[in-house]
Amino acid sequence: MSIKKFAVIGHPIGHTMSPFIHKRLFELSGVDAEYSVLDITPENLADAYKNVLTGLDGYNITIPHKPNIIPLLDEIDDKAKMYGSVNTVSNKNGIAKGYTTDPDGFLKALDAAGIALDGRVVILGCGGVARTMAYEVVLKNLPLLFAVRKDDAAIAEALCSEITDTVKGAKADFCLIEELSGDIDVLINATPLGMFPNTEAQPVSDSVISRCACVFDAVYNPLETRLIQKAKANGANAVGGMAMLVWQAVVSHEKWDGSSYNNDDIAKLCIDSSNELLKK
């Protein structure tokens, strides 16, 4: 049997964790595969697609190509259409099909941590990561509240309008972070606060953290941010962003070859990936 060939494409792409994570996932599933890193500039994307990417069994896509790859593909799935973004492509039987695995990676990370996406959900921030998570919240018919900085209020307002226009019956609102009050069932940090090297920073006050039943922090370096540490100390169920990074990679493998993985193996891979990141 020939070795399958996969890659990640982006620009710039020097410090990606994808090879480490995907090579381990291939080992766990027993698939004989190579996984390479391809730095492709935006102006060379079309040529690379024709001359390089069509020869792969599949590939991942990162900034800045997630929206730009779409016109080149034969098909994209419904969720990728909704998000206008593709981060995984499967080449099967001459058909290049695109997917976005970030939303399912987010949901699987929560599920593996035993966090139910239910009740009062608050998302800190209103950027691209927040947008992905927000749609998954309202698609579950849950009301959503963004908590943002004053400078981002206009962006949050526009995102709320986009969501309610796109998803029938969706309820999305926003407030300033300093105005955030009341009990929170699931708090999601979609800001970079707490990321290495500024690991002492936290996106909300201790008072807010104490009122959270569950916390998800999209920051994956360090493995446990100050937000996660304090939430756990308060008895909350909490998980960091490395879980989402690894689980979205797992979804790529599901699309490529139908592989499945157990939670214990993925939990260990999250820890190993964090240690690998420290080396970098």
> Which residues belong to the active site?
66
* Residue 10 β-bridge partners: 39
Instruction: Provide the residue type at 205 as one letter.
Output: S
Residue from 107, 110, 241, 121 nearest 186 by CA: 121
Residues in the chain: 280
Q: Which residues contact 124 (CB under 8 A, 6 or more apart)?
A: 130, 146, 147, 148, 177, 187, 188, 189, 190, 191, 203, 204
Distance (Å, whole) CA 245 – CA 279:
18
Contacts of 223 (CB under 8 A, 6+ apart): 240, 242, 270, 271, 274
CA distance 92 to 183: 48
CB 141 within 8 A of CB 169: yes
Nearest of 8, 23, 24, 3 to residue 266 by alpha carbon: 24
Residue 66 DSSP label: T
CA separation, residue 182 to residues 179, 207, 262, 266 (Å):
10, 10, 36, 34
